Structure 1
Amino acid sequence: MVLAEADRFDAHPTTPSGTGVLLLAGSSGRIETERAGLLAAHGARVLAMRWFGGEGQRPVPHEVPVELFVEHLEELRQECDRVVVFGTSFGAEAALLTATVSPVDGVIAVAPTSVVWAGAHEGAWSSHWTLAGEPVPFTPFDPDWLPDADPPAYRGLYASSLTRFAERATVARIAVERIEGEVLLIVGGDDQVWPSDAFAKAIVAARRSAGLVTTVIGHPDAGHRLLLPGEEAASGGVRMARGGSAAADAELGRRAWPEILRVVGSN
């Protein structure tokens, strides 16, 4: 699929490092232009893309073809010696899943998940993703869960759903042991959107069992969002509790930044 001009942002470095980065936002649907520019300033060729809600795309994160990401990784591969996929939240889910079916040199997953989740469109529930035209196995949501705060913190919903649908979650596990490249996970211990810290532990365990090393950078007081050095705090998106604070999220960004630059092979 050819992305419309409005659905992509291409950042080209002055002094290329040889690494191409496919940059994916989460449920906000935004194009990460600021982050793309930051990475390009350190030598990366970056393609930041909108992956739902754009021209000819699925309107919401529901049955989005994994091939969409594979295709644009291949585009970067034509220009670069190395390719890395960098995603946040639902974008991290996409990044990890894509890397199990398409060779990459690295994955950077901010607020990751270890399983594929359900998405809904026009009242129909299915997987966030499809592969070869078929929905990828997914974990449903606990229909009895109710939020106990306003704005709602959905961390409990995800935890409850994993317990209630344990067998489905096992089938929906992302096979991270298939990822050939390096995996960097960035997590906040106060993530109130979903339990990314627990998900990260599951990813590490699965890869360790396969003899693979995973790097995890965390901060106990950071939330769902990451603030890298030089970035402005993001706003908007679905109304919910995300946890953390601007200070803690920025401290997580400072801790993660050297590892991010290492994975992308910066100048």
Structure 2
Amino acid sequence: MRAVEVVERELTDPWEGIVAAPARGSRVGVLVLAGSSGRVERERVRLLAGQGMTAVSIRWFGGPGQPPGICEVPLETFTAAVDLLRANGAERVGILGTSKGAEAALLTSVHDPRVDAVVALSPTSRIWCNVGPGRDGAARPYRSSWTWRQRPLPFVPLDDSWTPADSDGGPVAIRGWYELSERTFAHRLAAADIPVERARADLLLVAGGDDAMWPSLPFAEQLAARRDAAGAPVRLIARRDAGHRPRLPGESPAQASPRFRYGGTPEADALLGAAAWPHLLDLLRGT
């Protein structure tokens, strides 16, 4: 593919973020959402812009006027970003989200029929409770991560009786926390399921079987089963040896965390990203 001249600009209002686009414009727009790191995905935005798309990434919590944590974050945050992409000439709009960002992407596609495509990396199949404090500064009692039209969405809490098996002071794997919570709050799972069968968007799921943060591959399989049962399009790309952070071709290796174990290996995570890459591009472009 011929090199694409890319122009970019910073966003400061109503969010912190970045927009990057081909100098000649594009009919394809992509909202890129990070997970619970809360970062603006600058490298990924530039990578997609280099593939001929208008890409935007925003800080969706922790910024001015936003909840400090992922607690009752309005989905309207993301529908407003869809507005921005439309205003920049996008005829086809996709959302690429990772982890909690994938949760947001899936839910936004359910509630906003203007979303044409979703790429969910390391997704969940249901709505979980807050990660960090809300606007009131409190992290407990648990509340929903999301609201729609000012109403909190049903969610699954975490079981705080959980303790990590690898509590030696180093990074911990918290997948078991989510698995225990599913058992403890089994009666709340159905209400919190993300109804992806209702979304008109095309859907690509990417997950690693060695994810140490949460069971993203079983979650992805649940999402795919719901779509299949409804006769809705879906594709699942997986590697059993990959972890929570698949890396797309051209992206820098992920840095180790002092707090969490993510599973997988740099090699397996890169191979998963490489396997997903052509399908990701086709889905976002609508080809």
TM-score, normalised by the number of residues in structure 2 = 0.88
Q: Which residue of 2 aligns with 1:108?
A: 119
Q: Which residue of 2 aligns with 1:141?
A: 158
Offset, 1:220: 1.2
Give the 5 Å matches for 1:237-248: 239-248=259-268
The amino acid of 1:142's aligned partner reads D
> Would you say the 8 A contact 1:15–1:43 is kept in 2?
no
In 2, the alpha carbon distance for the partners of 1:29 and 1:214 equals 27
In 1, the alpha carbon distance for the partners of 2:26 and 2:139 equals 46
The amino acid of 1:132's aligned partner reads R
TM-score, normalised by the number of residues in structure 1 = 0.95
Question: RMSD between aligned alpha carbons?
Answer: 1.8
Offset, 1:8: 0.8
Q: Which residue of 2 aligns with 1:216?
A: 236
Gaps of 5+ in 2: 1-10
Offset, 1:262: 0.4
Q: Which residue of 1 aligns with 2:272?
A: 252
Q: Does 1:28 align with 2:37?
A: yes
> Would you say the 8 A contact 1:18–1:44 is kept in 2?
yes
Give the 5 Å matches for 1:85-124: 85-103=95-113, 104-119=115-130, 120-121=132-133, 122-124=138-140
Offset, 1:213: 2.4
Offset, 1:7: 1.1
> Would you say the 8 A contact 2:15–2:60 is kept in 1?
no
The amino acid of 1:112's aligned partner reads P
In 2, the alpha carbon distance for the partners of 1:34 and 1:203 equals 28
> Would you say the 8 A contact 2:171–2:258 is kept in 1?
no
Higher RCO (CA < 8 A, seq sep 6+): 1
In 2, the alpha carbon distance for the partners of 1:265 and 1:43 equals 9
In 2, the alpha carbon distance for the partners of 1:224 and 1:159 equals 15
In 2, the alpha carbon distance for the partners of 1:3 and 1:180 equals 31
The amino acid of 2:92's aligned partner reads R
Q: Does 1:128 align with 2:138?
A: no
Offset, 1:199: 0.3
In 1, the alpha carbon distance for the partners of 2:234 and 2:172 equals 31
In 1, the alpha carbon distance for the partners of 2:72 and 2:33 equals 16
Q: Does 1:18 align with 2:27?
A: yes
Q: Which residue of 1 aligns with 2:6?
A: none
Deviations 1:185-244 (A, max 9, x none): 010111000000000011011111111121011111110002111110233667111001
In 2, the alpha carbon distance for the partners of 1:82 and 1:12 equals 14
Q: What is the SS of the residue equivalent to 2:95?
A: strand
Deviates more, 1:72-81 or 1:198-207: 72-81
